[in-house]
Amino acid sequence: MSEYWKQQALSQRDRFVGELLSFLSINSIEDMATAAEGKPFGEGVAQALEYLLARGESDGFRTKNVDGYAGVIEYGEGEEEIGLLVHVDVVTVGDDWTTPPFEPNIRGGRIYARGAIDDKGPALAAYYALKLVKDSRLPLSKKVRLIIGTDEESGWLCMKHFAEHDKVPEVGFSPDSSFPMTHAEKGQINPTLALSVQEQEVESAGYQLLSFVSGDQGNSVPEKAKAVVSAEQSLNAEWQREMTASWEAFLHAKATTGHVDISEAGEVTFRLHGKPAHGMIPQQGKNAGTLLAYFLLSLPFKASDYSFLSLLGQVLHEDYYGQNLHIACEDEVSGKLSVNAGILRYSRSDGGSVRLNIRYPATVAYEEYVEKLKRRVEELGWKISHLRTSKSHYVPKDRPVIQTLSRVYEEHTGLQANLLSSGGATYAKMMSEGVAFGPLFPGKESMAHLTDEYAEIDDLLRAMAIYADAISELAK
């Protein structure tokens, strides 16, 4: 049937591109300033949700708006259900776009706009796929539900609300990742570690760490770090020369940049630049905070100042896989546990705090690693002051949903359907037998969340054909 679906998808090209242009023109960045009843994430997100639901209604589907948190476009009957989970909210935009992010522009077969590939383009392609299935009049034995989320890029409150007021199917896919398909997603442990400063240390002489600030998001590698230090000799010219020289040598050795300033009162301020990266791939960044702490450990700090710096500069510095935290582990389907130190703070009044974003392998029982982490943190003189965890997701290879989608993918592309794993999460994990399926084809650059985000129109049509085939096979 793959030829049939390919032809059907191509026949939709003009109408699809036209609607995609309108859909992508809606600025659907979450905007709480315009939130209201029925629009919990603001005006733009609500409009994008309404746009899709209105398409569904005019094409003769049953539709439902679940309090503005989510929407459903539904086709077919049956006890069993197949879920297609998409989202219409998008991430923020910077200033460097070639053409405005909400004025979609077609250049060289690509459509440039925020949301083109994550996830409005794929969402519309999945909707069209459902419409092609409906138009084909093929007999189905299951109900197919396209579920539209509105808060995927932030807190997933949309799906939480939906799950409380409706039901997410057990089987299905989310077109919000890469082909062939992602069947394993790591889980997360997000602890905040706290260090208290003892009263009597506050007045201690010699070197003092007055403050330390780095990072503002748990799941990003900090790009900048700043520390303010006082030292008894800091007004001595010889000391200043030596300090500046060793700082410059350090920056050079670590291939990075920074500044040191010494105030008239003798306060020394260090600023260091690292390299940002997503928290799920900390090894691809350069953590400005742990690197600055690593440098400061060359100075004779004591007591809490030292405890703070040594956690950062000795334990967490380049500890991408958790060896120093005694939680390193890996599995075959999703690889190694990863650790990102995302928010690092210290002051002599509030003490130290460190927010970690730990991503653990999909098949590992995380409780055991939380225990190990707790023990290690206490051994280091810190404690866990706050802890948030999220489950991993794993669908074994032999499950029917994987068998069916693999077969469809192979028929359409002639490529082998090798299963993927991810450090990030998609809506697929809302379904016990859910996988992330496309829309990015192998070898294509992922532009999600980046400046000049685009989708290739031919690829969206190829994905549409695959989705139509997949829906008809899963629901037959």
Catalytic positions:
89, 152
Q: What are phi and psi of 354, to 5 degrees?
A: -140, 120
State which residue, 87 or 161, has the beta carbon closest to Zn ion.
Answer: 87
State which residue, 119 or 331, has the beta carbon closest to Zn ion.
Answer: 119
The secondary structure of 297-314, three-state, reads CCCCCCHHHHHHHHHHHH
295-324 residues in contact with Zn ion (CB under 5 A) are none
**Residue 151 found at the interface with Zn ion (CB under 5 A):** no
Contact (Cβ atoms closer than 8 angstroms) between residue 91 and residue 81: no
Q: Give the Cβ contact number of residue 397 at 10 Å.
A: 11
State which residue, 102 or 308, has the beta carbon closest to Zn ion.
Answer: 102
Q: Of the ranges 14-22, 101-109, 168-176, 283-291, which one interacts with Zn ion (CB under 5 A)?
A: 168-176
Report the candidate in 11, 7, 47, 13 with the shortest Cα–Cα distance to residue 28: 47
Q: Outline where DSSP puts E strands in 315-375.
A: 330-331, 335-336, 338-347, 351-360
98-117 residues in contact with Zn ion (CB under 5 A) are none
**Residue 176 found at the interface with Zn ion (CB under 5 A):** yes
Contact (Cβ atoms closer than 8 angstroms) between residue 160 and residue 151: no
CA distance 443 to 466: 18
Q: What are phi and psi of 286, to 5 degrees?
A: -135, 110
Query: How near is the Cβ of 391 to Zn ion at its closest, in Å?
Result: 19
Q: Which x/- pattern over 252-281 shows residues binding Zn ion (rule: CB under 5 A)?
A: ------------------------------
State which residue, 56 or 175, has the beta carbon closest to Zn ion.
Answer: 175
Query: How near is the Cβ of 83 to Zn ion at its closest, in Å?
Result: 16
Query: How near is the Cβ of 87 to Zn ion at its closest, in Å?
Result: 6
* Residue owning tokens 């299935």: 133
**Residue 469 found at the interface with Zn ion (CB under 5 A):** no
Taking CB under 5 A as the criterion, the residue among 118, 151, 185, 223 binding Zn ion is 118
State which residue, 179 or 294, has the beta carbon closest to Zn ion.
Answer: 179
Contact (Cβ atoms closer than 8 angstroms) between residue 125 and residue 60: no
CA distance 10 to 424: 32
Query: How near is the Cβ of 94 to Zn ion at its closest, in Å?
Result: 18
Query: How near is the Cβ of 190 to Zn ion at its closest, in Å?
Result: 20
Query: How near is the Cβ of 176 to Zn ion at its closest, in Å?
Result: 4
Q: Of the ranges 64-72, 176-184, 304-312, 459-467, which one interacts with Zn ion (CB under 5 A)?
A: 176-184
Exposure pattern of 355-365 as b/e (b: 16+ CB <10 Å)? bbbbbbbbbbe
Query: How near is the Cβ of 86 to Zn ion at its closest, in Å?
Result: 9
CA distance 46 to 110: 26
Q: Of the ranges 23-31, 108-116, 170-178, 466-474, which one interacts with Zn ion (CB under 5 A)?
A: 170-178
CA distance 55 to 438: 22
Query: How near is the Cβ of 321 to Zn ion at its closest, in Å?
Result: 26
Report the candidate in 421, 412, 460, 437 with the shortest Cα–Cα distance to residue 117: 460
CA distance 96 to 469: 39
CA distance 190 to 279: 11
Q: Of the ranges 154-162, 169-177, 228-236, 413-421, which one interacts with Zn ion (CB under 5 A)?
A: 169-177
3-state secondary structure of 340: strand
State which residue, 298 or 446, has the beta carbon closest to Zn ion.
Answer: 446
CA distance 300 to 210: 14
State which residue, 280 or 293, has the beta carbon closest to Zn ion.
Answer: 280
**Residue 119 found at the interface with Zn ion (CB under 5 A):** yes
Report the candidate in 448, 461, 444 with the shortest Cα–Cα distance to residue 113: 448
Number of residues that bind Zn ion (CB under 5 A): 3
Rg value, the chain, Cα: 26
Output the CA angle 200-204-209, nearest 5 degrees: 110
Q: Give the Cβ contact number of residue 303 at 10 Å.
A: 15
**Residue 223 found at the interface with Zn ion (CB under 5 A):** no
State which residue, 148 or 193, has the beta carbon closest to Zn ion.
Answer: 148
Q: Of the ranges 75-83, 134-142, 175-183, 414-422, which one interacts with Zn ion (CB under 5 A)?
A: 175-183
Q: Of the ranges 141-149, 171-179, 247-255, 340-348, which one interacts with Zn ion (CB under 5 A)?
A: 171-179
Q: What are phi and psi of 182, to 5 degrees?
A: -105, 115
State which residue, 157 or 303, has the beta carbon closest to Zn ion.
Answer: 157
Report the candidate in 229, 226, 228, 201 with the shortest Cα–Cα distance to residue 216: 226
Query: How near is the Cβ of 91 to Zn ion at its closest, in Å?
Result: 9
Q: Of the ranges 173-181, 321-329, 391-399, 402-410, which one interacts with Zn ion (CB under 5 A)?
A: 173-181
Residues that bind Zn ion (CB under 5 A): 118-119, 176
